[in-house]
Amino acid sequence: MCGIVGYIGTEDSKEILLRGLEKLEYRGYDSAGIAVVNNEGVHVFKEKGRIAELRQAVDNSVVAPAGIGHTRWATHGVPSQENAHPHQSTSGRFTLVHNGVIENYAILKREYLQDVTFKSETDTEVIVQLIEKIAAEGFNVVASDAMAMLQVTDQYVELMDKETVIVTKEGVTIKTLDGEVVERAPYTAELDASDIEKGTYPHYMLKEIDEQPLVVRKIIQEYQNENNELHIDADILGAMDEADRIYIVACGTSYHAGLVGKQFIETWAKVPVEVHVASEFSYNMPLLSEKPLFIFISQSGETADSRAVLVQIKELGYKALTITNVPGSTLSRESDYTLLLHAGPEIAVASTKAYTAQLAVLSILAAVTAKTRGIELEFDLVQELAIVANTMEVLCDDKEEMESIALQFLATTRNAFFIGRSVDYYVGLEGALKLKEISYIQAEGFAGGELKHGTIALIENNTPIIALATQEHVNLSIRGNVKEVVARGANPCIISMKGLETEEDRYVIPKVHETLSPLAAVIPLQLISYYAALHRDCDVDKPRNLAKSVTVE
């Protein structure tokens, strides 16, 4: 019920504040006060009773261009001059007016402010004293990940290899192993504490699956310039254009994103691409081209296997671009260039939104590189990605159907196979990885034509085969592959795209640009995996034996 006013400008604030308070007097008139600030400091005037009384108490010789004012309707503490706002902390460093009730003020007072002498009986003074206490407290923290300490600070200093740090309450001293002091400015972690909460979701994974349309839209925005054209840093484009071959290096889900990225870059920008599993590359380096460019894809930016390759290729003098979700991560710092995923923190161990974000960023990189190389694409990527985002939303809303597919095919099975051709094969690999990671069903992905060269021996009565059919040029062939396994007893779950569907299909994805189909097609696979794991009583967010960020070789 109290009223608050504030002013900052060039005029003297006193009269402006007093007039404002007069207008607010209907909200409370048992006491009132103003605090104004000028070069000499903060001047507080307060009085019991009406604004007219306060006017009398104000020292007119004080001229100050900023101030706050308050008219009080008493809750905590009787109407009195002491209880009138503004309230100040003991040292006078902080001055506060407040409207509302601090319900836990007594607990705060007991737990944190036992040594403070209070001037009033108000709950407000507890807050202003607490602010002073926290501001003066002086603390430092250490953490493997900024998000661990987000509740106490957003200021972080990175520690590099071969550095030591001495942390005290008052300060942080970084030294090299030779004892040389390193000066490094802190950076602000641009993380929202709410991003790392589950909210109303039962699992982070489900929340992160649902965030995907939003992430794609955010990426479109982040990579557009002021003319709404897709934009990539000129240095990166220069490096892409100069390269005679691109080597994508990654692990796990990021490796699967790399496979799709190869398709984007080769199809649109016409640069040859090889995709390598990092742990293999470091011990078995392929014969490199004359002008290679390395692209590291890593959600965390910390994966040891990928970093080992980065160190190797930097020693050889090659350039590296890292595509990561974590600004300031090791891979990002040690690469020449970085493209950020803007996906927000991914907490569930099984990667979902980072994968689609990686695809979206790779598609933009490929399209803008194509343009730099004078290649005209016959579609507008922004528009196509916007359609993808809308389609993702439709798919995310179809959870009941996804759950019923999971129950129909995966409730009790021991194993499952994913098949697809072209980019569907790559999405199938990711679908199989998702399923095995969180449900522990032995799931494997195969190129549609390859299954018959061995793995078909594993097909038994009712073995689930999840087949993707989103690509027109291989639609008939993948359907032929499905027939081969059905003839041997398999239980087929065909997921196709609108325009290619047949009656036997279990689920039809709305139409999106064919090359971008992985961004949409992966969502049913993520959701099916989620529900399979849920119905098999698995720990969805923290599957056994896995870790989110693997920082050992």
Token representation of residue 552: 């050992």
Cβ-based nearer residue to ligand G6P, 71 or 352? 352
- DSSP 3-state assignment of 79? coil
Which residue of the chain is nearest ligand G6P when measured via CB? 252
State yes or no: residue 340 binds ligand G6P (CB under 6 A): no
State yes or no: residue 549 binds ligand G6P (CB under 6 A): yes
- What is the sign, positive or negative, of the torsion defined by CA atoms of 266, 305, 415, 457? positive
Identified catalytic residue from 133, 314, 452, 548: 548
State yes or no: residue 542 binds ligand G6P (CB under 6 A): no
CA dist list (Å): 187 to 145, 157, 184, 352, 369: 13, 6, 9, 28, 31
In the complex, least distance from residue 355 CB atom to ligand G6P, rounded to whole angstroms: 8
- Please, which of residues 384-423 interact with ligand G6P by CB under 6 A? none
In the complex, least distance from residue 81 CB atom to ligand G6P, rounded to whole angstroms: 60
State yes or no: residue 253 binds ligand G6P (CB under 6 A): yes
User: What do you get for the CA distance between the two ends of the chain, in Å?
Assistant: 61
Identified catalytic residue from 2, 251, 396, 538: 2
In the complex, least distance from residue 453 CB atom to ligand G6P, rounded to whole angstroms: 27
Cβ-based nearer residue to ligand G6P, 13 or 332? 332
DSSP string for residues in 15-50:
HHHHHHHHHHGGG--SEEEEEEEETTEEEEEEEES-
Q: What is the 3-state secondary structure (H, E, C) of 82-144?
A: CCCCCEECCCCCCEECCCCCCCCHHHHHHHHCCCCCCCCCCHHHHHHHHHHHHHHHCCCCCCC
DSSP string for residues in 275-304:
EEEHHHHTTSPPPP-SSEEEEEEESSS--H
**Segment interacting with ligand G6P (CB under 6 A) among 35-43, 298-306, 336-344, 505-513:** 298-306
Out of 71, 282, 303, 352, name the contact with ligand G6P by CB under 6 A: 303
459 CB burial (10 A radius; 0-12, 13-18, 19+): buried
State yes or no: residue 332 binds ligand G6P (CB under 6 A): no
In the complex, least distance from residue 515 CB atom to ligand G6P, rounded to whole angstroms: 22
- Please, which of residues 82-111 interact with ligand G6P by CB under 6 A? none
CA–CA distance, 139 with 171 (Å, rounded to integer): 8
**Segment interacting with ligand G6P (CB under 6 A) among 65-73, 176-184, 264-272, 543-551:** 543-551
State yes or no: residue 212 binds ligand G6P (CB under 6 A): no
In the complex, least distance from residue 326 CB atom to ligand G6P, rounded to whole angstroms: 8
- What is the sign, positive or negative, of the torsion defined by CA atoms of 406, 407, 412, 417? negative
Token representation of residue 540: 């969805």
Cβ-based nearer residue to ligand G6P, 18 or 249? 249
In the complex, least distance from residue 301 CB atom to ligand G6P, rounded to whole angstroms: 7
List, in sequence order, every beta strand (DSSP E) within 387-526: 415-420, 442-447, 464-469, 491-497, 507-509
Token representation of residue 173: 């001293």
State yes or no: residue 252 binds ligand G6P (CB under 6 A): yes
State yes or no: residue 28 binds ligand G6P (CB under 6 A): no
Alpha helices in 373-422 (DSSP H): 381-396, 399-410
State yes or no: residue 361 binds ligand G6P (CB under 6 A): no
Cβ-based nearer residue to ligand G6P, 284 or 545? 545
State yes or no: residue 351 binds ligand G6P (CB under 6 A): yes
CA angle 480, 486, 491 (to 5 degrees): 125
Beta-bridge partners for 188: 155
In the complex, least distance from residue 532 CB atom to ligand G6P, rounded to whole angstroms: 17
8 Å CB contact between 274 and 286: yes
Out of 254, 352, 463, 526, name the contact with ligand G6P by CB under 6 A: 254
Cβ-based nearer residue to ligand G6P, 31 or 303? 303
* Catalytic annotation present for 548: yes
State yes or no: residue 300 binds ligand G6P (CB under 6 A): yes
Q: What is the 3-state secondary structure (H, E, C) of 158-169?
A: CCCCCEEEEECC
State yes or no: residue 457 binds ligand G6P (CB under 6 A): no
State yes or no: residue 299 binds ligand G6P (CB under 6 A): yes
State yes or no: residue 329 binds ligand G6P (CB under 6 A): no
Cβ-based nearer residue to ligand G6P, 298 or 517? 298
- What is the sign, positive or negative, of the torsion defined by CA atoms of 255, 259, 265, 268? negative
State yes or no: residue 349 binds ligand G6P (CB under 6 A): yes
Chain residues in the site for ligand G6P (CB under 6 A): 251-254, 298-300, 303, 306, 349, 351, 546, 548-550
Catalytic residues: 2, 548
